[in-house]
Amino acid sequence: MAAILPFAPTTPRRSSGHKFASPFPASHPRIERLRCFGENPTRGSSAEAKPEPEPEPEPENPLLKAAWYGSELLGIAASLFRPPASAEAPAREFELAGDGAGAFDRSAVVETIREDYQRSYFVTGNLTLHAYEEDCEFADPAGSFRGLRRFKRNCTNFGSLIEKSNMKLMKWEDFEDKGVGHWRFSCILSFPWRPILSATGYTEYFYNAQSGKVCRHVEHWKVPKMVLLKQIFKPSRWAWEKKSGG
């Protein structure tokens, strides 16, 4: 927000006729506009500076979005031929915070998320449900939706398409309203061409102020969207060697 300040002397001056002259000069005071970024006003520039246009949001990629929903449907179809999982994440009971507000203890929620990383919950769906709100929002570079059960189902179904995976929590950061987990992930998809997905990124876990549970789960992949999509269709070296050897 700009501040407008007139630069003019304010001390009264006596005229030769012993009359008080106006404290302001006869000419109109020069008005300069100061920017909130601490920049000096440019002389000769217009007093009415036009606000800089806000950057437009990145347009959605229809191909990437179609691939995302296609993979979700493919995972659902694959789940019909997969035997039910026998191992589920333990349903932990959190200790209530001592402030009497009824919120779950933050350290217990963070510890649970760390343990879920050890179970590669991204691709197994093996996560502790009690750490999340039922209507938690889940977002990644391809889209977003609400619903804890849907997220668990998608993760489990995606895991059925993976032949081998490796996921590691590299660093954890705590903030007032969220935690941030930095991770590294790689996997081989069980397609005939055995594509390899490899990426690093981080996930933001926003906490509900009342319950202390995670209400937003936002993934950020440090790889361009289209590069990630191309990895899916690129045959791995292992697939070429197996084809040539057969």
DSSP string spanning 115-128? HHHHTTHHHH----
The single-letter DSSP state of residue 99 is: T
Total domain count for the chain? 1
CATH of the domain at 136: 3.10.450.50
Is residue 57 situated within a structural domain? Answer: no
Is residue 35 situated within a structural domain? Answer: no
Q: If we measure between CA atoms, which residue out of 128, 67, 45, 127 comes closest to residue 94? A: 128
Instruction: Give the pLDDT of the chain (246 residues) as one tens digit per residue.
Output: 434 333 344 444 444 444 444 444 455 545 444 444 444 444 444 444 444 444 344 455 565 555 555 555 555 555 555 555 444 545 555 665 555 667 889 999 999 999 999 999 988 899 999 999 999 999 988 789 999 999 999 998 888 888 889 999 999 999 999 999 999 999 999 889 999 999 999 999 999 999 999 999 999 999 887 888 889 888 987 655 555 555
Residues 6+ apart with CB under 8 A from 226: 61, 64
Contact 78, 161 (CB under 8 A): yes
Is residue 157 situated within a structural domain? Answer: yes
The parent domain of residue 191 ranges over 92-245
Q: Any idea how long the chain is?
A: 246
